[in-house]
Structure 1
């Protein structure tokens, strides 16, 4: 029993001490203080900062903790403070329209866990200078030297003060007194020219999806050179240099497009022969496009013609070729541009287009893209010991009805197969 008496006495004393309570007056909450990472900005005379600036700050509370901050850009009188929990952020400080320089005040204040705000928030004045945007046409994203109704343009635009400072792009065609605004996020457009009337104009389509923009550019001229002008503006209305691209627009006069893809010195004579054959068939007017540049060497496919837009602009080429109902494709080699037809004529065939192809055949690999486009399955292998296919005298030819839509064959006795 004696061993537990001291413990009982200690417990009694502890209870008695707690029962007396704490004495004194509660201190009122003390507001936090706010500090910038840098206390002042000192620049050499005439020097200024760009308008995109990263600003950092911190806060301290003597009797609690900081839960966030509020900041204002400009005059704090009657301003709406913006709350943040961050200790830094990147801002594009505003410059009045038409001005190149500005002194912009930035104020920040801390907030503690009881909602008290720094009553004397610090400010910094940032001397900034606006820089005009920069713009240039993107590589391979301008039309070739000659087109018909469709032409695409892509550009790259940036701002030394940060791309968030970009406001818009403006375009004009032939007349720089008539500019049309393009949202800055659209950096690729396609012009679809309507040359059916006396005053041609061009509908503007946005992006590779060819979305309607509602913009129509007047003043297009056909069978003549046209120039597209492009410039960019930032939020302070500073303007970039004007870039331009000039190309020749041919008027479309037919629903038939004749593609001259015949390589070699006798190409012109072959074209004239086929145009005469068309005239004899009653077709006297066709639109003509020469895509016979480039040389197919050693069985490799010829580089895609420079007469069309770059191959990376397949949507543009598809829209372009779909302007015709019929295509007459003349070539002398399966290694030429016919190998690209499957990726450039999708829209043409979706619109119900028809195509006549005049190209001599030759042995090609089973994985050739031509076999995915032309209406035959494969190149048959010659029987061992034979140099060509032939039907021996007395062979029986049996008709078959298992082939859907077979080609119509005509036998001409003692006449070798040839291509006109």
Structure 2
């Protein structure tokens, strides 16, 4: 027997037996008038009494209700927020997120209990209190969307004719925004920078419909650009330097594959800039503007002077910086003088370096990267291949610490392995060029003692050696290039390879102007 029918059968049999008992108890001499049974509808209540003072709530709240039936069982509840669309539930509480406008709003919650005095069959349309509640709830066992014989259903009986209701004055909660702690801007950078923030809304983060960006003037409403509300990180990039006031590309999540279709106007080159960010929810309510950097801190955006970057990854205090700067100003008839940029990375580190650094390198076509024995290997491993693949060409003058993971080097250098290091390379050590392919390279002689020197075994397939130590100081090669002439590497500081005056400068000039084809 169907479960709802069985419940009604037991219920009526119980009432019938009770009636017979009363009849017998009254004696056989009295007349009995049969009174037809009339089902009493259930009653409903809320845990908050109707005369309670309801204050403004957050727009995410929990409502509790209950039901009671004096002559049967409560099988569920119908509830509504708009007095039109009613939903069935067997629960006695639920949490609701009420989407509202920026102005205060009053929602009225109505709920009515239903009892078990159904008709024992599935009804495709249930009408109670003049309301069409739709079909009786059922378990759609076969997933076809319609009731089929044998499927379990709730046999709806009487409904509380006076649904309990309670108004809820709701105040919308504006989004909240804060700075991602990794967003620490240097005092100056090139026009590539990554920004991160945190944004949330008590009504649910999904209610944040947009993140709004504006440069330098938060009152310039015409310059505001909206991006999707789920974005928490962007990179701003400028690649056109024809003017001093330019628009920046917006790379969503720092990816070149997801560039926002609208650029952000108002970036000033060779000037101080500031990004303002705020969150807007679906009601139109906005967070405060987040200023990046904060008031009182400057972020100066430098306009690149040309296609060449001198990347200073050197921490030892000596004359290395002067050597490279002087060399670039004077080689090849001073063609590079005033046309190259210097980035002292240890003084101007960028946030989210795995994103910002490769994109910054790609602003340039040629790079000379020099370091001491503690280079930024993580930067090189993450950026050099991308730079080369984009057509960039790079010259390394780089040494390494006593221990490191060779696989990191293999991520950006065409090598199979390295030799063990020697504690010091003595002065006047000689580097001889490969006589078959690089006979025009100068012989280099070291100046002073150089710590922790090792040589390399370049890939026989993807590299070509161009310098070896004389006199068997170390096996392998100390200088090599890739087969595409996009990367040249020497495992010593060139500033200490100028024992014969002018030879280190000559080597740099040959690589940049002859091998790379640099044209300032």
Q: TM above 0.5, one fold?
A: yes
Question: 1:155 is paired with a residue of what secondary structure?
Answer: strand
Assess, with a 3 A threshold, how the Cα gap between structure 1 residues 67 and 209 changes in structure 2: closer, same or farther: farther
Q: CA deviation at 1:122?
A: 0.9
The answer as to 2:146 corresponding to 1:93 is no
Q: Once structures 1 and 2 are overlaid, which stretch shifts more, 245-254 or 107-116?
A: 107-116
**Deviation by residue 1:42-79 (Cα, 9 ceiling, x = unmatched):** 359xx532222111223445666555443322x52xx2
Paired position in structure 1 for 2:156: 115
Paired position in structure 1 for 2:391: 352
The answer as to 2:292 corresponding to 1:245 is yes
Assess, with a 3 A threshold, how the Cα gap between structure 1 residues 381 and 248 changes in structure 2: closer, same or farther: closer
Assess, with a 3 A threshold, how the Cα gap between structure 1 residues 68 and 355 changes in structure 2: closer, same or farther: farther
With normalisation by structure 1, the TM-score equals 0.72
Paired position in structure 2 for 1:187: 232
Distance of 2:207 and 2:334 partners within structure 1: 61
Q: Is the 8 A contact 2:194 2:352 kept in 1?
A: no
The answer as to 2:362 corresponding to 1:322 is yes
Tell me, which stretches of 5 or more residues in structure 1 are unaligned?
Answer: 1-21, 294-305, 392-401
Alpha-carbon RMSD: 3.8
Q: CA deviation at 1:139?
A: 0.7
Question: 2:360 is paired with a residue of what secondary structure?
Answer: helix
Q: CA deviation at 1:407?
A: 0.8
Q: Is the 8 A contact 1:260 1:271 kept in 2?
A: no
The answer as to 2:323 corresponding to 1:270 is yes
Q: CA deviation at 1:91?
A: 1.8
Question: 1:251 is paired with a residue of what secondary structure?
Answer: coil
Q: Is the 8 A contact 2:406 2:417 kept in 1?
A: no
Distance of 1:172 and 1:81 partners within structure 2: 44
Q: CA deviation at 1:26?
A: 7.9
Tell me, which stretches of 5 or more residues in structure 2 are unaligned?
Answer: 1-18, 21-33, 116-153, 294-298, 430-458, 472-491, 499-520
Distance of 1:340 and 1:330 partners within structure 2: 13
Q: Is the 8 A contact 1:52 1:93 kept in 2?
A: yes
Question: Superposed, which structure 2 residues align to 1:217-366 within 5 Å?
Answer: 217-246=264-293, 247-263=299-315, 264-276=317-329, 278-280=331-333, 282-284=335-337, 285-293=339-347, 306-311=348-353, 314-331=354-371, 333-360=372-399, 363-365=402-404
Distance of 1:343 and 1:96 partners within structure 2: 46
With normalisation by structure 2, the TM-score equals 0.60
Paired position in structure 2 for 1:173: 215
Paired position in structure 1 for 2:253: 207
Q: CA deviation at 1:226?
A: 1.5
**Deviation by residue 1:355-402 (Cα, 9 ceiling, x = unmatched):** 10012467544657346544444442489xx998x99xxxxxxxxxx9
Q: Is the 8 A contact 2:190 2:302 kept in 1?
A: yes
Q: Of 465, 471, 474, which aligns to 1:407?
A: 465
Question: 1:220 is paired with a residue of what secondary structure?
Answer: strand
Higher relative contact order (CA 8 A, sep 6+): 1
Q: Is the 8 A contact 2:97 2:203 kept in 1?
A: yes
Q: Of 461, 480, 497, which aligns to 1:419?
A: 497
